[in-house]
Amino acid sequence: MRWRCTSRLPEQRWFAPWRLAFLLAATALLLGACAAPVFRNVGNLSPIMPSDVQQSPERHLGSDVVWGGRIIGVANREQTSEVEVIGYPLDRDQQPMPDAPTVGRFIIVLPGFVEPFDYPAGRHLSVHGRVSGTRLGQVEEHEYLYPLLQAREVKVWPWGFIFDKKPRINVGVGVMIR
């Protein structure tokens, strides 16, 4: 009887090409589903909305918040720039949800000059900042109390960002306690 060496034994068929393709696809899907919030180290955030600040400005003065919405316009002042935003609730990735009802308007205050082309009307943004007060303004024929937000970090989202959402799949074993 002759001894014969084969490169593939029947027991070693676990490394079939279809299994490798499945493993790569599953790894890519799991890694792609791991989206993270935009502002990671934000500490203790106040779960307040611009409409809450309008109702009781003194109570929320100095609160650290993450808000988002759609840019209405930019005004460059002598020392600062102001971005007027119509607010929307944020999803868990801190992205505005423009299909949800609005939560009020607010003004982001940025130091120095801001290029209006970097903050075009209609784009969405998320901002981490501190409530610094309110200002009375106009929305068409109506007086409007704008919350002022001193910005720490601003993320302007690209056009069509809401269509780039990837599905989230969570796989795990354990107990969840709320």
Residues 49-81 pLDDT 10s: 999 999 999 999 999 999 999 999 999 999 999
CA distance 108 to 101: 20
What pLDDT, on a 0 to 100 scale, did the predictor assign at position 92?
Answer: 87
78 neighbors 148 (Cβ within 8 angstroms): no
What pLDDT, on a 0 to 100 scale, did the predictor assign at position 3?
Answer: 62
What pLDDT, on a 0 to 100 scale, did the predictor assign at position 16?
Answer: 61
- Chain-centroid distance, C-alpha 84: 18
| Contact residues for 23 (Cβ-Cβ < 8 A; gap 6+) | none
CA distance 111 to 78: 10
Domain boundaries, the chain: 50-164
User: What percent of the chain is predicted at pLDDT more than 70?
Assistant: 71
Q: 166: which DSSP letter?
A: P
| Band (29; pLDDT cuts 50, 70, 90) | very low
CA distance 107 to 135: 9
User: In residues, how long is the chain?
Assistant: 178
Query: Phi first, then psi: what are they for 67, rounded to 5°?
Result: -120, 165
Q: Which residue has the higher pLDDT, 102 or 16?
A: 102
Judged against a pLDDT cut of 50, whether residue 31 lies above it is answered with: no
Q: Return the minimum-mean-pLDDT range out of 30-34, 93-97, 115-119, 127-131.
A: 30-34
User: What percent of the chain is predicted at pLDDT more than 90?
Assistant: 61
Encode pLDDT of 148-176 as tens digits: 999 999 999 998 877 776 665 666 676 76
| Contact residues for 65 (Cβ-Cβ < 8 A; gap 6+) | 45, 46, 48, 128, 129, 130, 131, 149
43 dihedral zone (left: phi>0; alpha: psi -120 to 50; beta) = left
Among candidates 124, 118, 115, which has minimal Cα distance to 68? 124
Q: Return the minimum-mean-pLDDT range out of 12-21, 53-62, 111-120, 157-166.
A: 12-21
Q: What is the CATH number of domain 50-164?
A: 2.40.50.140
User: ∠ at Cα 163 (121, 73), nearest 5°?
Assistant: 10
Judged against a pLDDT cut of 70, whether residue 122 lies above it is answered with: yes
Q: Which residue has the higher pLDDT, 172 or 6?
A: 172
